């Protein structure tokens, strides 16, 4: 996820600046998106570590991770735009 952020963050910042918008909410959205690693056991190293000892199957991750991801999407998006407005001013 860190490598993905290193690739996507400059693109998000450049897009925001091209649109004449504040890059901060774009960068926060990239960071929050990278933190949503609940959907697969390979999304984060801790998910992989607990898979075997916990007896989890691959299908357990999306089943339990989808509600968390939707919660982050529904709550996180408005909060990002609240704390980091699209237009500076």
Give 89's pLDDT tier (boundaries 50, 70, 90): low
Give 1's pLDDT tier (boundaries 50, 70, 90): confident
Q: Over the stretch 9-67, which tens digit does the pLDDT of each residue have?
A: 999 999 999 999 999 999 999 999 998 888 999 988 899 999 999 999 999 999 999 99
Residue 86, Cβ density class (10 Å: 0-12 exposed, 13-18 middle, ≥19 buried): middle
Q: At what angle do helices 23-35 and 2-18 cross, to 10 degrees?
A: 160
pLDDT the model gives residue 37: 87
Q: For the chain, state the CA radius of gyration.
A: 16
Calculate mean pLDDT across residues 70-85. 95
Alpha-carbon distance of 89 to 79, in angstroms, equals 18
Half-sphere exposure of 21 (CA within 13 A, CB side): 15
pLDDT the model gives residue 36: 87
Q: pTM here?
A: 0.83
Alpha-carbon distance of 52 to 88, in angstroms, equals 48
């Amino acid at each position: 996820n860190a490598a993905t952020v290193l690739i996507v963050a400059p693109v998000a910042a450049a897009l925001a600046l091209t649109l004449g918008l504040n890059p901060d909410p774009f960068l926060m959205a990239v960071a929050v998106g990278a933190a949503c690693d609940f959907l697969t056991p390979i999304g984060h190293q801790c998910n992989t570590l607990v898979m075997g000892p916990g007896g989890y199957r691959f299908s357990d991750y999306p089943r339990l991770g989808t509600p968390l991801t939707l919660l982050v999407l529904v709550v996180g998006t408005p909060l990002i735009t609240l704390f980091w407005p699209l237009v500076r001013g």
